[in-house]
Amino acid sequence: MQKKISNLPFKGTPEQEAALRRIIADNAHDKSRLMAVMQQAQDIYGYLPIEVQAIIAEGMGVPLEKVYGVSTFYAQFSLSQKGQYSISVCLGTACYVKGSGELFNRLQEILGIGADECTPDGRFSLSACRCIGACGLAPVLTVNDEVYGRLSVKDLDAILAKYN
Amino acid sequence: MDMVNLKINGIPVSVPKGSTILEAARAAGVEIPTLCYMKDINEIGACRICVVEATGARGLVTACVFPVAEGMEVQTNSQKVRNARRMTLEMILSTHEKKCLSCVRSTNCELQKLCLEYGVEETAFEGYRPHYEKDTSAPHLIRDNNKCILCRRCVAVCREQYVGVIGPNNRGIDTNIGCAFNQPLNATSCISCGQCTAVCPTGALVEKDDTDQVWAALNDRTKHVIVQTAPAVRATLGEAFGMPIGTNVEGKMVAALRRLGFERVFDTDFGADLTIVEEANELVERVKNNGTLPMITSCSPGWVKFAEYYYPELLPHLSSCKSPMQMTGAIIKTYYAEKMGWDPRDIVNVAVMPCTAKKFEIGRADQSAAGVPDMDIAITTRELSRMIARAGLRFASLPDEEFDSPLGEDTGAALIFGATGGVMEAALRTANDWISGKDCDKVDYTEVRGNASIKEALYTLGDLSIKVAVASGATAAKEVMDRIKNGTADWTFVEIMGCPGGCINGGGQPIQPQYIRDTVDVKSLRAKALYDADQASVLRKSHLSPAVTALYGHEKFFEAYGCHKAHEILHTSYTPRKKYSF
């Protein structure tokens, strides 16, 4: 699967950019710190859109394509915006055999977005993850740091309602 | 130097410590197949076609990166090795679109050659196979990832050219070579140098073929179809027909073009000589009037595009002279059209160039001296070789013919434009004569010749001492520009070419397989053909070109060098470009 690229407009603030530029200034002397800079940039913005990657490329003195190549190689980097509420459905083996695939599909229908996408209002984003170590509660999903277990598709509306 | 003794297929060989098995094998006269390896540029051991058996190593090792050891015994051709290579080829083929019949790289594809050698045609591996849309967005090349084998040679040369606009994206089976954020190539800061097309082992990166447009023009009886050829083309075209590297085929090339049906066969050398008189005049003006110095040449469209993307604030350093191709095109559609009584709109100007960036250059703004674009079609040396083949011309048996007059007349100074340092040397020859006010004996400026990426020299011309620099390849260009930017440069005149070695190593030149590029100094052999021709020329200074002197003299087309009309027809302007699109 190729990484999803956000098609929502970039909404970075001057404060975020100033923070990013400080991080770059601390690391620009050593190109091998590219990944560390990218991780911190993702902490600031939640994802790494082209606007952010271009600042990193210029600041670190590497081609934009190199930054992009790194961002698509490692699973930890995201190219799509995280919502205010980031929903993550476990598709690990235990959750999957307990029906988490259906949860994932149903959430896509309800929210009108695909995997690794964000709703246009910026409220919800959806992604799949591998085992979160709560197999006893399978199938499991998380919304930000809240964990919901032993779910079926009929529970989903109630969970989403808590965040609306 | 510490030497290491080992045996390759039983042949004893002694090589410097730190050598790879591949280097040792080449020293022993044994060729090991490679796909991803490019000497000094891409040594990553990724494709695994070069695997060999070596004592002291576990399993098979990649010869291109595995260092030799004392007493090592290497088998490059055992059954185990052959089986492994077959397996690798089958795996490569499992995602390769095998449309070999019409692929322009058929017969000079390095993958095809290996498949033939190893008897591999089908793959045993079926399953998920990513499909990619072709990227046809750029004017100069087509990227077809369905033919890509992920060797990363293109990535290496693109980074070697500093721009690095293509690279490996995603991972596993989805790994593909592309631009950041999957943008099309024309949305990036690609400088159109085409070096990637010259090193791709397959047909994944090829020049955009414009020969159909040329054939159509040749079939149109209402048009005057005129061709011109760059200095460097005559030094390489023969390679496409199996001739040794460095064979000068000027006469046969002219004969072939005439047989293809071009109404006039002119020489870009004419434009090169014209460039020199206009550029030397511009330099003198800048020196006299405290203009922006150093002045930098503007012949190479890859370099010009590089400057527009990466150093937009330094564009005033570029000479305003159009490139020799554009100057020749402009003169054909103004002076020559007038002379012949032709409507410039009925002229189709075709150029044969060593260069893919020329396909971009012909569409540039401010290049329409006669109200229509100066140039209509630019094809590469490779495309011309395919036209010659399709026309059924037996190139090697063609007679030697001469260019048409008057725009086929040239000097030795124009010929050497095709090699790095050539424009500088040509300019120095003219500047020296002008400043000294006489026909000086000195014509050879050897300090600016050769393949070093940056060359500097100090010359005394008449009573003036000037420092000059010559750079080829975009990384060298960056170094030179950084020095100009931070004020540590004291040059008066700088020549920059976008491709390493200059036009003789342009992105549109005939394909030489990588093992040849690794083991033969292709650039020097090609350049020698041009320097030899210069040496043999009667006229070796641009300002003595009869075609050029006529324009400013008895033909009275221009009043003087750098006159208003010359500016209208022969000079141009540049545009700052944004590196990123969002």
- Assess whether A154 and A100 both reside in one domain: yes
Q: Is the pLDDT of residue B128 over 90?
A: no
Q: Cα(B108)–Cα(B113) distance, rounded to whole angstroms?
A: 7
Beta-bridge mates of residue A29: none
Domain end: A73, A107, A122, which one? A73
Domain of A118, CATH number, reads 3.40.30.10
Average pLDDT over residues B521-534: 98
Domain of B333, CATH number, reads 3.40.50.1780
B296 to each of B85, B357, B418, B462, B540, how far by Cα in Å? Answer: 49, 18, 17, 22, 22
Q: Is the pLDDT of residue B121 over 90?
A: no
**Residue B33 domain flag:** yes
- Assess whether A150 and A89 both reside in one domain: yes
Enter the DSSP assignment of A137: G
- Assess whether A69 and A94 both reside in one domain: no
Block residue for tokens 């800061």 = B189
- Assess whether A68 and A90 both reside in one domain: no
Enter the DSSP assignment of A29: T
- Assess whether A104 and A37 both reside in one domain: no
**Residue A54 domain flag:** yes
Domain end: B207, B228, B260, which one? B207
Block residue for tokens 């976008």 = B498
Q: Cα(A35)–Cα(A132) distance, rounded to whole angstroms?
A: 24
Nearest-10 crossing angle of helices B211-219, B381-390: 50
pLDDT of residue B127: 80
**Which of A8-12, B160-164, B538-542 comes out lowest in average pLDDT?**
A8-12
Tell me whether residues B171 and A5 touch, CB distance under 8 A: no
Q: How many CB pairs under 8 A join A and B?
A: 59
pLDDT bin (cut points 50, 70, 90) of residue B15 is very high
- Assess whether B297 and B379 both reside in one domain: yes
Burial B147-157, CB ≥16 within 10 A → b, else e: bbbbbbbbbbb
pLDDT of residue B76: 97
Domain that holds residue B565: 212-409+504-570
pLDDT of residue B124: 79
Name which of B159, B167, B170 is nearest A2 (Cβ-Cβ).
B170
Task: Identify the CA nearest to A64 among candidates A76, A49, A77, A78.
Answer: A49
pLDDT bin (cut points 50, 70, 90) of residue A40 is very high
Tell me whether residues A65 and B167 touch, CB distance under 8 A: yes
Average pLDDT over residues B481-507: 97
As a 3-state breakdown, chain B gives helix, strand, coil percent values, each rounded to 5, of 40, 15, 45
Specify the number of domains making up chain B: 3
DSSP B25-63: HHHTT-----SS-BTTTB----S-TTEEEETTSSS-EET
**Residue B467 domain flag:** no
- Assess whether B148 and B250 both reside in one domain: no
- Assess whether A92 and A152 both reside in one domain: yes
- Assess whether A110 and A66 both reside in one domain: no
**Residue B231 domain flag:** yes
A59 to each of A27, A56, B580, how far by Cα in Å? Answer: 9, 5, 14
Domain end: A23, A48, A73, which one? A73
pLDDT of residue B126: 82
B568 contacts B320 by C-beta, under 8 angstroms: no
- Assess whether A100 and A68 both reside in one domain: no
**Global pTM value:** 0.95
Domain of B25, CATH number, reads 3.10.20.740
- Assess whether B292 and B403 both reside in one domain: yes
* ipTM metric: 0.94
**ω into B406 cis (within 30 of 0):** yes
Name which of A10, A63, A79 is nearest B165 (Cβ-Cβ).
A63
- Assess whether B246 and B308 both reside in one domain: yes
Domain end: A30, A50, A73, which one? A73
Residue A50 with chain B: CB contacts under 8 Å: 180-181, 580, 582
Task: Identify the CA nearest to B94 among candidates B79, B106, B82, B111.
Answer: B111
pLDDT bin (cut points 50, 70, 90) of residue B512 is very high
Q: Work out whether the CA dihedral A110, A112, A116, A120 comes out positive or negative.
A: negative
**Residue B497 domain flag:** no
**Residue A148 domain flag:** yes
- Assess whether A93 and A120 both reside in one domain: yes
**Residue B27 domain flag:** yes
- Assess whether B196 and B265 both reside in one domain: no
Q: Cα(B265)–Cα(B250) distance, rounded to whole angstroms?
A: 12
Domain end: B207, B231, B259, which one? B207
Tell me whether residues B580 and A68 touch, CB distance under 8 A: no
Name residues whose C-beta falls within 8 Å of residue B563's C-beta, 6 or more positions apart in sequence: none
**Residue B76 domain flag:** yes
Q: Kindly report the nearest CA distance between residue B162 and chain A, in angstroms.
A: 8
Domain that holds residue A21: 14-73
Residue A62 with chain B: CB contacts under 8 Å: 164
pLDDT tens digits, one per residue of A66-122:
999 999 999 899 999 989 999 999 999 999 999 999 999 999 999 999 999 999 999
Average pLDDT over residues B93-98: 92
B188 touches chain A (CB under 8 A): yes
- A3 to chain B: nearest residue by CA? B170
- Assess whether B381 and B234 both reside in one domain: yes
- Assess whether B145 and B188 both reside in one domain: yes
pLDDT tens digits, one per residue of B256-266:
999 999 999 99
Q: Kindly report the nearest CA distance between residue B168 and chain A, in angstroms.
A: 6
Q: What is the mean pLDDT of chain A?
A: 95
Tell me whether residues B180 and A5 touch, CB distance under 8 A: no
Amino acid at B457: A
Q: Which of residues 113-172 of B touch A (CB under 8 A)?
A: 159, 163-171
H/E stretch holding A125: strand A124-129
Block residue for tokens 């960056």 = B478
- Assess whether B282 and B388 both reside in one domain: yes
Q: Kindly report the nearest CA distance between residue B519 and chain A, in angstroms.
A: 30
Residue B168 with chain A: CB contacts under 8 Å: 69, 73
Tell me whether residues B171 and A73 touch, CB distance under 8 A: yes
User: How much is the CA Rg of chain A, to the nearest whole Å?
Assistant: 17
Domain end: B175, B207, B239, which one? B207
Beta-bridge mates of residue A148: A141
- Assess whether B307 and B372 both reside in one domain: yes
**Neighbour tally for A121: CB within 10 Å:** 9
Name which of A2, A5, A64 is nearest B580 (Cβ-Cβ).
A64
Domain of B122, CATH number, reads 3.30.70.20
Tell me whether residues A69 and B168 touch, CB distance under 8 A: yes
**Residue B21 domain flag:** yes
B123 contacts B157 by C-beta, under 8 angstroms: no
Q: Kindly report the nearest CA distance between residue A72 and chain B, in angstroms.
A: 5
- Assess whether B377 and B252 both reside in one domain: yes
Task: Identify the CA nearest to B534 among candidates B131, B210, B231, B213.
Answer: B231
- Assess whether B156 and B216 both reside in one domain: no
- Assess whether A90 and A148 both reside in one domain: yes
**Residue B420 domain flag:** no
- Assess whether B202 and B221 both reside in one domain: no
- Assess whether A102 and A148 both reside in one domain: yes
Specify the number of domains making up chain A: 2
Q: Is the pLDDT of residue A1 over 80?
A: no
Residue B106 CB-half CA count within 13 A = 9
Q: Cα(B359)–Cα(B381) distance, rounded to whole angstroms?
A: 12
Average pLDDT over residues B433-442: 93
**Residue A7 domain flag:** no
**Residue A1 domain flag:** no
pLDDT tens digits, one per residue of B346-404:
999 999 999 999 999 999 999 999 999 999 999 999 999 999 999 999 999 999 999 99
- B165 to chain A: nearest residue by CA? A65
**Residue A6 domain flag:** no
Residue A60 with chain B: CB contacts under 8 Å: none
Residue B170 with chain A: CB contacts under 8 Å: 2-3, 72-73
Q: Cα(B100)–Cα(A153) distance, rounded to whole angstroms?
A: 51
Average pLDDT over residues B495-524: 97
pLDDT of residue B129: 85
